[in-house]
DNA sequence: GCTGAAATTCTGGAGTG
DNA sequence: CACTCCAGAATTTCAGC
């Protein structure tokens, strides 16, 4: 068991909103030296409190024009499910996979170049889960109001891209 | 309209997986000087391709033990909806708000200290949307396999926290 | 968790194609 | 316009306390 105090919580909150803040600036806000902040962040990573850092990116700039969520209705609670989903987690199309309660048992968020690629993905998902899967309910994500703790307000100006970010 | 090439795409991909990589290291991987990488990242932020940087945090370390997704079934496609959802987007409980197609029209992911706080949130949501809302379908998120492009594998060892991260 | 010094990185301007 | 180079500034990092 490791110590974990209010300043650690504050670090987590600030890093969620600004993942690239400097240790120096973070230290100013907390009243700590940069070295202490580094020690704490290293500790938080060790603990698993911080699992990584990520940029919030508009997928249309990667030519991913189809973004979807999928709700998986599973027939059985087989430990195999997690193993299979972990295989899909490594794909670079997949942003998020959660295990959930409710009418469905898993939530996947992923992005694709087109509907065709999405359908192939869904097909492989069905094939891999086989009899464990009852059905997939899905929909497209056509707008993001907030994402990963980052407000995604629209700024003015197009940049000539085809589709996406209005 | 601004130029946008393969190296920019590569920057987006790398930054999604490692949001705190240094400009120097990023430059090494791309065959560019750190200064060029900086210029490109500044440009990508201007364009809205990069909307921010965020740490992927285990919410139980913030005493948020209840994590949920909510699917909003709306009665009408009123522009008011976006305005109302934007108000909820500023709350620090809210991780994500998407507008979607499908059976439901919005997806919210949020985290709370307990069920009570979650219910108050859902209540306010219902109250704010009023007659625009038909129903909310929801479930709890009890495990994360991948999140914001970050594999969230379980590492060994507990740290004495109550609940959460097994 | 702090200090202090060394190593590394960042940053803006000048110069190049 | 995008790039590199370069020097000064800032940050990171690590040892020792």
Same domain, residue pair B23 and B71: no
Share of chain A above pLDDT 90, in %: 89
CB contact (8 A) between residue B101 and residue A142: yes
Q: Residue B155 pLDDT > 80, yes or no?
A: no
Same domain, residue pair B66 and B129: yes
Same domain, residue pair A121 and A78: yes
Q: What is the CATH number of the domain that holds A115?
A: 3.30.70.920
Long-range CB pairs of A32-39, under 8 A, 24+ apart, other chains included? A32/A7, A37/A11
Same domain, residue pair A38 and A85: no
Q: Where are the beta strands (DSSP E) in chain B?
A: 50-57, 66-74, 94-100, 106-112, 133-147, 150-151
CB contact (8 A) between residue B148 and residue A144: no
Question: In this predicted model, what pLDDT tens digit does every residue of A32-69 receive, in sequence order?
Answer: 999 999 999 999 999 999 999 999 999 999 999 999 99
Choosing among A23, A53, A113, A156, which should be mutated to test the B contact, i.e. which has the most B CBs within 10 A?
Answer: A53
Global pTM value = 0.94
Q: What is the CATH number of the domain that holds B35?
A: 1.10.10.10
Q: Residue B156 pLDDT > 50, yes or no?
A: no
Question: How many independent structural domains does chain B possess?
Answer: 2
Contacts of B164 (CB under 8 A, 6+ apart): B58, B59, B60, B61, B65
Q: Tokens standing for B151? A: 């594999």
Same domain, residue pair B68 and B129: yes
Task: Supply the range of the domain harboring residue B103.
Answer: 59-140
Question: In this predicted model, what pLDDT tens digit does every residue of B67-121 receive, in sequence order?
Answer: 999 999 999 889 999 999 999 999 999 999 999 999 999 999 999 999 999 999 9
A151 is a domain residue: no
């Amino acid at each position: 068991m490791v110590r974990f105090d209010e300043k650690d919580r504050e670090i987590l909150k600030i890093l969620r909103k600004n993942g690239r803040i400097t240790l120096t600036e973070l230290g100013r806000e907390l009243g700590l030296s940069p070295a202490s902040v580094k020690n704490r962040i290293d500790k938080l990573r060790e603990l698993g409190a911080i699992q990584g850092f990520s940029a919030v990116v508009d997928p249309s700039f990667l030519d991913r024009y189809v973004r979807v969520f999928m709700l998986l209705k599973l027939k059985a609670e087989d430990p195999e499910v997690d193993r299979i989903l972990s295989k899909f987690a490594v794909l670079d199309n997949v942003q998020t996979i959660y295990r959930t309660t409710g009418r469905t048992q898993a939530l996947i968020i992923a992005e694709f170049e087109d509907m065709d690629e999405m359908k192939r993905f869904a097909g492989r998902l069905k094939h891999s889960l086989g009899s464990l899967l009852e059905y997939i309910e899905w929909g497209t994500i056509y707008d993001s109001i907030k994402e990963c703790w980052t407000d995604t307000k629209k700024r003015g100006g197009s940049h000539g891209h085809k589709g996406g970010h209005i």
